[in-house]
Amino acid sequence: MIAIVKQSASPEQLDQFVSWIEARGYRTNVSRGDNETIVGIIGDTTKIDPFLLESLDIIDQVQRVSEPYKLANRKFHPEDTIVDCGHGVLIGGGHFQVMAGPCSVEGDNLIEIARAVKAAGATILRGGAYKPRTSPYAYQGMGEEGLDLLLEASAELDMPIVTEVMDPRDVQVFVDRKIDIMQIGARNAQNFNLLKEVGKTTTPVLLKRGLSGTIDELLMAAEYIMSEGNPNVILCERGIRTFETRTRNTFDVNAIPVLHHLTHLPVVGDPSHATGYTRYVKAAAFAATAAGADGLEIEVHNCPQEAWSDGAQALVPTEFADAMRRIALIREAITAELE
Ligand code: PEP
Ligand code: MN
């Protein structure tokens, strides 16, 4: 249930209202926007009489919210959330950012790739140090040594890094090492213990949609993180499994505007995992940008044929630079003020 508070209400009246609700055993989420303040009431609200609340002087309107996700719900929080990724980089609410880098951190080539993606306009460096692989015999990642390389590149280039955390026991390591953004991969999108663990931190989380996850399941995964106290969630559409076999996954471009409608959280598109083949990555990146994504995550490798994972979908730096110039033009087209 949400209560929309009148503009005329004083901060003291708002505090009194919140205490009154909380004294009845509910949790609250107060969202102060430029035009309105909304109090989200969380718990079994079937016992609350909405007419009684509406009769209070400071309340404008009360609405029941049927969706099970509350904190991620745009009804509770009409304004776009802007996540601070560190190093002065903001995402969401009109701030568009591109995360780029290799699938896996492999060694000394990381800095070379990082310099190239930064020169092309990427603002966040990606790279996996812990890799979720379908086969236990496939390359599993460099682990902490990989984090070291990412952190060195981050310091040299003054750019935030995003890297996957797979195990709840590693979350504290990521926090201690001051990793800017923790990625939750598609295979862990419903690993509720991991979601809760990253929810206990304030580190931004890039949450990927599950392999066969619905939009509502993605929102509920975000709710797991947010309900533990971490509001800094960025959602990622990375393609879903369908009957189509010509591409690695099927890019659900629809999910981008649908998510913007349902949630205030930033939404990023990942055209690399969504398509699985270098030849389609640019087209999907352009589509995601045109659909209003707040950012992109793109795999880039200096020598894709030698990559330790996902070489088949990597762009080389020159292709990435070309894509970035066209993405900037698409951004201009969709954000232009027209007469
Ligand atoms: C990745 O980003 O390299 C990755 C494994 O992505 P996903 O979880 O979307 O498959
Ligand atoms: Mn990958």
Q: What residue numbers bound the domain in which 24 lies? A: 2-63
Both 26 and 113 in one domain: the answer is no
Mutate to test the pocket of ligand 1, among 104, 125, 183, 211 (most ligand atoms within 8 A of CB): 183
Strands (E), the chain: 2-5, 27-32, 37-42, 59-63, 83-84, 90-91, 97-101, 124-126, 161-164, 181-184, 205-208, 233-237, 267-269, 295-299
Both 50 and 182 in one domain: the answer is no
**Could you tell me if residue 330 is inside a domain?**
yes
Model confidence pLDDT, tens digit, residues 1-45: 999 999 999 999 999 999 999 999 999 999 988 888 999 999 889
Distance 210 CA to ligand 2 centre (A): 14
Both 157 and 245 in one domain: the answer is yes
166 touches 130 (CB < 8 A): yes
Query: Could you give the number of structural domains in the chain?
Result: 2
Both 153 and 239 in one domain: the answer is yes
Prediction pTM value: 0.94
**Could you tell me if residue 68 is inside a domain?**
no
Distance 310 CA to ligand 2 centre (A): 5
Both 57 and 90 in one domain: the answer is no
Lookup result for tokens 């904190």: 71
**Could you tell me if residue 169 is inside a domain?**
yes
Mutate to test the pocket of ligand 1, among 104, 164, 300 (most ligand atoms within 8 A of CB): 164
Q: What percent of the chain has pLDDT over 70?
A: 100
Both 59 and 207 in one domain: the answer is no
Both 119 and 172 in one domain: the answer is yes
Model confidence pLDDT, tens digit, residues 95-135: 999 999 999 999 999 999 999 999 999 999 999 999 989 99
pLDDT digit string (tens) for the chain, length 339 residues: 999 999 999 999 999 999 999 999 999 999 988 888 999 999 889 889 999 999 999 999 999 988 989 999 999 999 999 999 999 999 999 999 999 999 999 999 999 999 999 999 999 999 999 998 999 999 899 999 999 999 999 999 999 999 999 999 999 999 999 999 999 999 999 999 999 999 999 999 999 999 999 999 999 999 999 999 999 999 999 999 999 999 999 999 999 999 999 999 999 999 999 999 999 999 999 999 999 999 999 999 999 999 999 999 999 999 999 999 999 999 999 999 999
Residues in contact with 71: Cβ distance below 8 Å, sequence separation at least 6, in sequence order:
29, 40, 42, 77, 222, 223, 226, 227, 231
